[in-house]
């Protein structure tokens, strides 16, 4: 079977379309709201406030010290982890539905199905960019700066690829099994607590009642990403070589998963939607 009518398209040649989808997502997200864009800051900051009260004030979790030697600040410690989590969770939650909401379009004109998915990932990133900016600004004010900030860049490249591959695979699978998005929202809740966001990995006992808890949490790819990011901006210690290998490996797995699902199911969405 050959068909040339779809033309040769690469992610790069589709950038215009991806960007269009991203703009559409951003536009519709805050359409008709009074605060508009401000919501993309208000929501995470209130989450931050609530978690700080619950975990630092009530449960008295002790944060590790800052990279510049000052005593730790739980809010900042949490913020550094929560930013990564927000991008991840928002990316999955909105991305997984992006093919269904674009469905009508895919039935009538052809374009690669990853375009709306990547568009929604970009929209989520754009929203969180403000958050990251606020975090870094606070760090700078507190004098907690180092060359390790530069490592955020390669980290971000890996993280975005990891997220995109995963989201695309889930979005396509969700067209075939519509229950997936509901299952995923439950999984995400569990994953939040299985990732060192409100605690650091060292708080976790090696084993608890025979369950190798720390090993389980450590095996979670998000643990790697959150810890590496926190190393760069909070502890100011560069992530080790093994960490980079692990990040790259997880990214490769996620992208591979995305490509595989795309090849198997993503090319015939026109008749499944």
Chain residues in the site for another protein (CB under 8 A): 1-7, 13, 16-17, 19-21, 24, 27-28, 31, 102, 104-111, 177-179, 267-268, 270-271
For another protein, give the closer residue by CB, 28 or 185: 28
Q: 136 near 149, Cβ under 8 Å? A: yes
Among 195, 246, 213, 194, CA closest to 83: 195
Minimum gap (Å) between residue 69 Cβ and another protein: 49
For another protein, give the closer residue by CB, 6 or 70: 6
* Residues 86, 41: Cα–Cα separation, whole Å: 11
For another protein, give the closer residue by CB, 62 or 268: 268
Q: 183 near 144, Cβ under 8 Å? A: no
Minimum gap (Å) between residue 20 Cβ and another protein: 4
For another protein, give the closer residue by CB, 11 or 245: 11
Minimum gap (Å) between residue 175 Cβ and another protein: 9
* Residues 201, 222: Cα–Cα separation, whole Å: 12
**What are the structure tokens assigned to 83, written together?**
């930013």
* Residues 242, 263: Cα–Cα separation, whole Å: 31
Q: 94 near 119, Cβ under 8 Å? A: no
Minimum gap (Å) between residue 125 Cβ and another protein: 19
Minimum gap (Å) between residue 19 Cβ and another protein: 8
Minimum gap (Å) between residue 95 Cβ and another protein: 17
For another protein, give the closer residue by CB, 39 or 111: 111
Among 184, 176, 228, 23, CA closest to 92: 184
Minimum gap (Å) between residue 159 Cβ and another protein: 26
* Residues 139, 80: Cα–Cα separation, whole Å: 10
The Cα angle at residue 97 between residues 256 and 133, in degrees rounded to 5: 80
For another protein, give the closer residue by CB, 105 or 152: 105
For another protein, give the closer residue by CB, 112 or 165: 112
Contact residues for 210 (Cβ-Cβ < 8 A; gap 6+)? none
* Residues 63, 220: Cα–Cα separation, whole Å: 21
The Cα angle at residue 223 between residues 217 and 227, in degrees rounded to 5: 130
Among 248, 16, 222, CA closest to 118: 16
């Amino acid at each position: 079977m050959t068909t040339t009518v779809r033309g040769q398209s690469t992610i790069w040649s589709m950038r215009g379309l991806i960007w269009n989808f991203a703009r559409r997502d951003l536009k519709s997200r805050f359409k008709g709201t009074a605060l508009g864009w401000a919501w993309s800051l208000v929501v995470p900051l209130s989450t931050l406030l609530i978690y700080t009260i619950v975990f630092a004030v009530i449960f008295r979790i002790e944060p590790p010290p800052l990279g510049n030697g000052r005593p730790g600040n739980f809010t900042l410690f949490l913020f550094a982890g929560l930013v990564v989590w927000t991008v991840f969770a928002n990316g999955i939650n909105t991305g997984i539905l992006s093919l269904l909401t674009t469905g009508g379009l895919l039935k009538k004109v052809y374009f690669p199905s990853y375009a709306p998915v990547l568009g929604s990932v970009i929209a989520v990133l754009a929203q969180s960019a403000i958050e990251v900016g606020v975090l870094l600004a606070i760090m700078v004010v507190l004098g907690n700066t180092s060359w390790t900030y530069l490592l955020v860049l390669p980290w971000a490249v890996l993280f975005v690829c990891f997220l995109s591959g995963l989201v695309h695979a889930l979005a396509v699978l969700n067209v075939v099994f519509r229950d997936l998005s509901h299952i995923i929202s439950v999984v995400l809740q569990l994953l939040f607590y299985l990732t060192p966001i409100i605690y650091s990995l060292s708080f976790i006992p090696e084993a608890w009642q025979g369950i190798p808890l720390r090993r389980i949490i450590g095996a979670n790819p998000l643990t790697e990403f959150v810890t590496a990011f926190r190393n760069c901006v909070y502890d100011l210690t560069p992530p080790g070589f093994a960490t980079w290998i692990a990040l790259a490996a997880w990214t490769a797995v996620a992208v591979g998963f995305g490509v595989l699902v795309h090849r198997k199911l993503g090319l015939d969405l026109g008749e499944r939607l």
